[in-house]
Copies of this chain bind each other. A is one copy, B any other.
């Protein structure tokens, strides 16, 4: 009955769920929002309602009882008929697997790139990154069940197709390498739980991909179909977006085919406390608490975070907290430091920089890594603050 459920049928976003009002909204349609940075680092595991949201399209309304995941079969198997899996099949046919994974949007910290020179993209601050415990089944187990083996001939990529689509029917899509998909060590998951709850609608209900260590964009939500192919996904987001370029390449000169699609992300860190422009008040020892996060892609662990209170002249090692885990490391470290404020300073620039287990470091400045899409900003994070009087 039309009159009972007033819905603007001309607005494809009218079915989007409600969201927590504390989120800072970067775009309403599609919905893109991040939590306040100081809340982000209050917990190692980000509460679901605070987890950053990055939608490319309207949130699809999926009936869990009718939901089917369609999985390609190898050529010649079962007359080419795909494997079809209900939610119940997914939850009962394969071993359950849990993994704590930090997801980061490629555009995290884009606003600092915009400050150098305007880029195309949403104005993300420092909080397009969050951490959750994901439960689901290994993509590997589903691909093996569909008939694939570890032999990669003709099967270089695994494409994910979302059930979210634009007005022309074009669906969100992305791909990862077949090698990664089949790797036990890489723990690629088809997830149906997030922090002990069903996946929230904004995070892909009822099923999404979790690709540990890899840019958010490949962690396809509302997963509908898995395609195994010689080519990467042909989607806009795989081919003509989410790639890095030289800082002097702009929209008139860009050749998207010249750069690889982003997969593993580089080492990252940011200060979440204090905030830019804040007045900090040193305690009796002349110290203030500085807090933040650090993370690296590719399974690399954060091994050190350095903090500077004098614009980069001297550096002190911060205290790290994280998770003990065997093998590759997928989750961030939170860090904090009781830092000495330089005597008689009125204004200071606080800086952080992290080192990962491959001894990768962050670049000093944003301009030399600027790129037209404003992705991959992992320069040192700087926060300028005013120093108040000790009472």
| A365: Cβ under 8 A from any B Cβ | yes
Residues of B near A264 (CB, < 8 A) are: 357-359
Say whether B267 contacts A360, CB under 8 Å.
Answer: yes
Contact A246/B358 with A312-B368, A364-B368 known, Cβ cut-off 8 Å: no
- Report the interface size for chain A: residues with CB under 8 A from the other chain: 40
Q: Considering the chains assembled together, what is the distance between the CA atoms of A312 and B363 in angstroms?
A: 13
- Tell me the dominant secondary structure on chain A's binding face: loop
Say whether B315 contacts A248, CB under 8 Å.
Answer: yes
Say whether A248 contacts B363, CB under 8 Å.
Answer: no
Say whether B315 contacts A355, CB under 8 Å.
Answer: no
Complex interface: stretch among A109-117, A270-278, A297-305: A297-305
Residues of B near A262 (CB, < 8 A) are: 359
Say whether B368 contacts A247, CB under 8 Å.
Answer: no
Residues of B near A315 (CB, < 8 A) are: 246-248, 368
Residues of B near A61 (CB, < 8 A) are: none
Say whether B364 contacts A266, CB under 8 Å.
Answer: no
Which residue from B306, B362, B364 sits with its C-beta under 8 Å from A246?
A: B306
Q: Considering the chains assembled together, what is the distance between the CA atoms of A236 and B284 in angstroms?
A: 43
| A209: Cβ under 8 A from any B Cβ | no
322-367 of chain A: CB within 8 A of chain B: 327, 353, 355, 357-365
Give the Cβ gap from A213 to chain B, nearest Cβ, in Å.
9
Give the Cβ gap from A257 to chain B, nearest Cβ, in Å.
13
Contact A358/B247 with A259-B303, A364-B364 known, Cβ cut-off 8 Å: no
Give the Cβ gap from A259 to chain B, nearest Cβ, in Å.
7
232-284 of chain A: CB within 8 A of chain B: 244, 246-249, 259-260, 262-267
| Nearest-CB residue, chain B, relative to A328 | B179
| A369: Cβ under 8 A from any B Cβ | yes
Contact A260/B368 with A248-B315, A360-B360 known, Cβ cut-off 8 Å: no
21 pairs from A and B in contact (CB 8 Å cutoff)? A244-B304, A244-B359, A246-B304, A246-B315, A246-B316, A247-B315, A248-B316, A249-B317, A260-B303, A260-B357, A265-B358, A266-B359, A306-B368, A315-B368, A358-B360, A359-B376, A360-B360, A361-B368, A362-B363, A363-B364, A364-B365
Apart from A248-B316, A264-B359, A358-B360, list 6 A-B contacts with CB within 8 A: A179-B327, A244-B304, A246-B304, A246-B317, A363-B363, A363-B364
- Chain A interface residues (CB < 8 Å from chain B): 179, 244, 246-249, 259-260, 262-267, 297-298, 303-304, 306, 312, 314-317, 327, 353, 355, 357-365, 368-369, 376, 378
